Structure 1
Amino acid sequence: MARIGARLAATGAAVVLGITGFSSVAAADGTVATTTAPTGSAVITVDQQFLANTALNGIVVLPLPSATADDTNNVLTTTFPVTGGVANIPAFNGSVQFGGGLLFVNLNNGKNVAFKQLDFAVRAWNFSGVPDGGTTSVALLDPRGFTQRGRTGTTQTVSATSLQVDAAGAQYLDTALGTTYFTGGQSVGSLALSYTPGS
């Protein structure tokens, strides 16, 4: 009995070692080294009516570096570069991170709030940001209107004819800025997003 027990113990140990070795190989094989970072951008073409209404209400919205703004032919666009993320947009999975941020200022009372760590959550279908001094992201903008998802080669895209203020974002902004201007569903402009995963 002692010999049988010893053999079973040895066999069991060999099986455990075999499984452990296999798991280690599987884990090593499942880890893919990234040599290039994701690329792309989210471009917002700002709605002139939204721009005029915010100004009339004493609200100014400014992109923060590394986002850039351009005013060509009286069309204002703001571009946020892709800085990270793992996403399969056509399959509604993952998220994409962007550089830069957004600064909201209420000129009537001097209150302001800035958002960084911008993120597009594909399944939730919204853009969020973390306010300065905070740790929890706030849903800010939702692609709406006529929306399309696509893929050309390795580049994934999203377009939306209306990029709207999220209800949670509107509530947060009104509280932070001491205003009642923002409401869910306000159209900020249109969206063109492109994302190429890292490799």
Structure 2
Amino acid sequence: MILINLLPHREAARKRRRESFYVTLGAAALLGGLIAGAAYVWYQAQISTQQSKNSYLQAEIKKLESEIKEISTLQAEITALKARQQAVEDLQGDRNMPVHLLNELVRQLPDGVYLASMKQTDRTVTLQGMAQSNERVSELLRNLGSGSPWLVKPELIEITAGTVTLNPRDQRRVANFTMRIGLKRPTDVPKPAAGAAGAAGAATPAVKG
């Protein structure tokens, strides 16, 4: 016996396929939503972690900047203290500079040279005097330039011929000179030389004739 199906089976098959498609589409949409949600949560967690790290780094940077400012302030204070200490040492040393100057002039002044005046400005000393000859002036320059640890850079400014009257019948030719020399501070002089010069400074200064 032959059976004939008169129901609309094609439409039923299409309906099942359509329903299956909608179910699959819904499942895919749900899965996509879950994946998107999970990705969003993960990215938010990463952003939050990075923001926490950034906040920590900014706090550490501010702390370092504060420490750097403190170090700069300390360095400035140390520099100022060193400058004041150097100024005090220079003032203490400058009190003995006239003694060293007179002592060195006594030691380095050759025979036949006489000093008429001496003027000190800061660490520069101007000498005026007379000598029996130009050679005596040259000898004085050599002595001041190489034989003294306290005097530096002797410079002859002027030398002129003159005469000195010892008595109505005795007139002698002399060389009038003006020279300039530099004077070192005690802090600029090596310790052995400073010690030797200080010991010699106890002697009473006098000008050689």
Q: Does TM, scored on the shorter chain, surpass 0.5?
A: no
The bucket for the TM-score relative to the shorter chain is: 0.3 to 0.5
Between Structure 1 and Structure 2, the one with more helix by share is 2
Q: What TM-score, normalized by structure 1, do the two folds share?
A: 0.34
Q: What TM-score, normalized by structure 2, do the two folds share?
A: 0.33
Between Structure 1 and Structure 2, the one with more strand by share is 1
Larger Rg: 2
